[in-house]
Structure 1
Amino acid sequence: MNLRTPAAVPLLLALALLGAGCSGGVEGTPGAVGLRDPYFPGLGNGGYDVTHYGLKLDLGPSADELSGPSTDGPSGPAADRLRGTATITARATQDLSAFHLDLAGLDVEGATVEGRPAAVNRAGKELTIRPAAAVEDRLRKGRTFTTVVRYSGSPQAITDAGGDKEGWLRTADGAVALGEPTGSMAWFPGNHHPSDKATYDIEVTVPDPLTAVSNGELVSRRTENGRTAYLWRTTEPMASYLATVAVGRFTTHQSRTPEGIRLFTAVDPESAAGSRDVLAEIPAVLAWSAERFGPYPFRSAGAIVERTGDSTYALETQNRPVFPGPPDTALLVHELAHQWFGNSVTPATWRDLWLSEGFATYAEWLWAADHDGVPIGKSFEEAYADDANWAFPPAGPPAAGDLFSSPVYGRGAMVVHRIRLAVDDDRAFFALVRGWTKAHRHRNAATEDFTAYVEERTGQDLTELWDTWLYGESRPPKEG
């Protein structure tokens, strides 16, 4: 059991009561351990809906320890040590006697619900929180309650089913948190399924001269005793896998687009020269995307560019994607398109990931057609000819390790293009796309929502298209 007991809480007695099945007087039933996602059945938790996370993270040495080891290296205190407090505001969706949170590693020092000490049980990546009887009314269906979890330790990377590292990744001068699909549980407790979106306040305190960058807008920055606290606020709903924290010696820049969108970029000095021209394209890419996909769904945008090799992939973290070294324009277009497809309109389950990756890949094709003279038909032909895209249907990856494979991207984009051909009117097609992002703005959507929406808007029965291109097992004739 990875748990430490605060002296003020008789936790061993509470756990004994929990094991004996005692409810402590709280009516209701425990929330489900998982949400039965097709690929991660234990991910997420039932019985409540998180509305807000308030995270306070303290990284590296305390003020009294600043004269100690260097914070420069990947194994230094800034990367290795985290002390956190998570304040989670949620609405009960059933009468709760207990509920679960996802957390990988880290030591839980204690928890409260509505200000009263709560019993905490640890089983692998699941925390069971059993509130005190005195707050039972706050756990009834429809009521809002607040949970505070104090935790600490050395956050770790998680190897996902596809073999990539996610979670808390050490970098040359700090760390970066990447959460897709399950890595966010490596650095804060929560309901870590994409269907439970929430707003966030993330305050990160780091030793100078390091900078802490996260999602949303920088609300405040205060320095005391050689440590600086950066408070970032995300006011639009965000899935937890899109939350990030990047700590390092960044060069930062703030500006606004002509449309008034706040831009914040943070670039590792080693990647600055190679990133400058591409990052300068962000305002143009956002304006071009808005014409095709609808109004930009957030108040801020930007990018975080780490050193080459700090991770093996880019990620569309909300507001400002993370890049493992200087990106090219196509990658920038892809990750910014995700702000519409994935971040605002978020998959209902991980099976619906093609809705994000297919549209983001199609955005690359559109950009190449408009700016590089590469016809959409040529991009489609290349994807069609690529055998890797036909390993399985985009809406049905065989296993979790296949979620980020070629069919989800390339064949997903082919589905989008086949819809465009079926509509047979570019003006109507882009109106269809803009309507989709408007109808599901800041919400979750499943594949079935999308297919029903397209058929309703077009007035067409597209069963053959879905059966062939979205769900079909084999490569169809191009004209089919």
Structure 2
Amino acid sequence: MNKIFTLFCLLASTFLSAQIVGENHSNYTEADTLRGSLRPERTSFDVQKYHLKLKVEPEKQFISGSNVISFNVLKDMPVMQLDLFENMQIDSIMHGNQKVDYERRYNAVFIQFEKALKQGLTDSIEFFYHGKPVIAENAPWDGGFVWTKDKEGNPWVGVAVQGTGASLWYPNKDHQSDEPEEAQIDISVPNGLMNVSNGRFLGETDLGNGFTEWSWKVVNPINNYNIMINIGNYQHFSEKYKDLDLDYYVLPYNLKKAKEHFTEVKDMMACFYEKMGPYPFEEDGFKLVETPYLGMEHQSAVAYGNQYLKGYLGNDLSGTGIGLKWDFIIIHESGHEWYGNSITAKDIADMWIHEGFTSYTESIYIECQYGKEDALKYIRGIRQNIGNNRKIIGDYGVNAEGSGDMYYKGANLLNMIRSIYDDDELWWNTLRDYTKTFKHQTITTEDTEDFFDKATNVDLKPVFDQYLRHASLPVLQLRQADDKILYKWKADVINFEMPVDVIIDEEEIRLKPTTEWQSYETGEELDELKVNDLEFYVETEVME
């Protein structure tokens, strides 16, 4: 690997770890706990809807307005916790016609009701605020606003806040376990500009003060960090895939290029519909929106900034050349519509449910377009971006993601489970059932483990445990004993078991190693044995 490509892989792995907000450690602060934990101030209510109504002033890098938060009271609630970064100013919080008292602690806002809201009540508050939100120095690697201008000098504004938190720019219950059932986003911007947000376009209104309000509505559950604004001098074009509306918002000087480049979207949809099931937000449509940063999976308004290049900014994360056949951002970020947006991890510690599955969609697309062999080569190639130095699952309740290995180690884990199934029809049926069963739900790692484990007679629990909760790979230890080859696993998981396919004398056989020595009778020497490393991601060790 040359030095330039080595540097690129380091930068790419940084992107894949973008906005990881905490590592596995014990030095958590009160702010971490306030953001990451579920206490009565959060669990006593279920958010039903956000209605954002904001004015955005690009020249001042300033926003102001309100969010009406509708909710159901699940338990008697004297105090409600919402979240808004402490640099944003609160003007007032209204409950009915009354201002309510509140206390701020770090980025948390504790709203104190005069009388506890009673269980079973459907209610709302209106939260007025303003300020200059955090600016991202290098989005999407860090969270915040991007205030820039396009090549023609027009303001161009984007936001990326995954991990950092949507409360960076609007008040909400900033925890992945609770998604609003719908959202309306009314954003006023200077005349001549357009705002594109999630869901369906409701209309535009000239406010008569030099600003135009652009209104959008989402009618499906949506992650807080996916609710988004994109402001620019956009041009729009559209097409359809089956009954799904495909809309594109791009800068005018890129219109011709976009119409040619985005033809890949239909191929992607055909593949994903077949392998993973229908697009999960048909009512809200699908959009690609050109952004001044690389990309993000904003639900029904996917951020696109890959400069109309194949690969990842014209490079290949796998080092095989296969990654240069397709646009990484289109495929990866759109794959999140199924995994991350439709199926969401309840705790950010389980973000591999988003990133591992979505990284696997890259190989799914390759298999549809170029065949299984290329897909397997790509999966093996992306292992060069895996560190195996920290566990994939983070610490719960403190807003801490795990290792960036959640991306490509997660994808290799899924590819290996497919190989353990040893039945592609069963694999694709199980994957489609998974996306259907948990559609529009928040889930845990255990939900995922149980689902894929029940589909096969092989016990997958130790496999998930080793790859998700330990940093190192299992090691297949091998030893020659006359005309036999001895084999066993060395792993962190006690009594670890996992089948593995090996090739001996050009014949593939399945071994079923445990942590105890077993033998395979063969006339071949040990150096003739090779693990099928296209399908199994393990280490090997030859013992004396």
**Could you state the TM-score of these two structures normalised by the residue count of structure 1?**
0.80
CA displacement at 1:140 relative to structure 2: 1.4
Change (3 A) 1:140 1:320: same
State whether structure 2 residue 169 is matched by structure 1 residue 169.
no
| Partner secondary structure for residue 295 of structure 2 | coil
Query: Match of 1:256?
Result: 240
CA distance in 2 between partners of 1:367 and 1:194 (Å)? 28
Change (3 A) 1:358 1:447: same
User: What is the letter of the counterpart of residue 96 of structure 1?
Assistant: M
Q: Find 1:323's aligned residue among 291, 301, 304.
A: 304
State whether structure 2 residue 331 is matched by structure 1 residue 342.
no
Query: Match of 1:151?
Result: 129
CA displacement at 1:47 relative to structure 2: 2.3
- 2:453/2:461 contact within 8 Å kept: no
CA displacement at 1:271 relative to structure 2: 4.5
User: What is the letter of the counterpart of residue 417 of structure 1?
Assistant: N
Which stretches in structure 1 are left out of the alignment for 5+ residues?
1-32, 61-74
CA distance in 2 between partners of 1:163 and 1:269 (Å)? 23
| Partner secondary structure for residue 406 of structure 2 | helix
Change (3 A) 1:246 1:366: same
Kindly name which structure, 1 or 2, has the bigger radius of gyration based on alpha carbons. 2
- 2:271/2:368 contact within 8 Å kept: no
CA displacement at 1:168 relative to structure 2: 2.2
User: What is the letter of the counterpart of residue 156 of structure 1?
Assistant: V
Query: Match of 1:430?
Result: 428
CA distance in 2 between partners of 1:115 and 1:281 (Å)? 51
Query: Match of 2:220?
Result: 236
Counting aligned pairs with the same residue, the percent is: 23
- 1:110/1:151 contact within 8 Å kept: yes
User: What is the letter of the counterpart of residue 104 of structure 2?
Assistant: R
Matches of residues 442-457 of structure 1 in structure 2 within 5 Å?
Answer: 442-457=440-455
Q: Find 1:57's aligned residue among 54, 66, 69.
A: 54
| Partner secondary structure for residue 182 of structure 1 | coil
CA distance in 2 between partners of 1:140 and 1:41 (Å)? 23
Which stretches in structure 2 are left out of the alignment for 5+ residues?
1-29, 150-154, 311-326, 477-532, 539-544
CA displacement at 1:152 relative to structure 2: 1.5
State whether structure 2 residue 105 is matched by structure 1 residue 123.
yes
- 2:226/2:297 contact within 8 Å kept: yes
Query: Match of 2:7?
Result: none
CA displacement at 1:107 relative to structure 2: 1.5
CA distance in 2 between partners of 1:270 and 1:157 (Å)? 26
Q: Find 2:413's aligned residue among 412, 415, 433.
A: 415
CA displacement at 1:401 relative to structure 2: 7.8
How many equivalent pairs are there?
419
Matches of residues 22-101 of structure 1 in structure 2 within 5 Å?
Answer: 40-41=36-37, 45-60=42-57, 76-77=59-60, 80-101=61-82
| Partner secondary structure for residue 307 of structure 2 | coil
CA distance in 2 between partners of 1:396 and 1:127 (Å)? 25
User: What is the letter of the counterpart of residue 121 of structure 2?
Assistant: R
| Partner secondary structure for residue 297 of structure 1 | coil
CA displacement at 1:46 relative to structure 2: 3.6
- 1:179/1:243 contact within 8 Å kept: no
CA distance in 2 between partners of 1:269 and 1:375 (Å)? 36
Change (3 A) 1:92 1:159: farther
CA displacement at 1:151 relative to structure 2: 1.1
State whether structure 2 residue 302 is matched by structure 1 residue 305.
no
Change (3 A) 1:469 1:165: closer
CA displacement at 1:397 relative to structure 2: 7.8
- 1:34/1:46 contact within 8 Å kept: no
CA displacement at 1:387 relative to structure 2: 6.2
Q: Find 1:142's aligned residue among 120, 132, 135.
A: 120
- 1:35/1:42 contact within 8 Å kept: no
Supply the RMSD in Å over aligned alpha carbons: 2.8
CA displacement at 1:126 relative to structure 2: 1.6
CA displacement at 1:411 relative to structure 2: 0.3
Change (3 A) 1:235 1:457: same
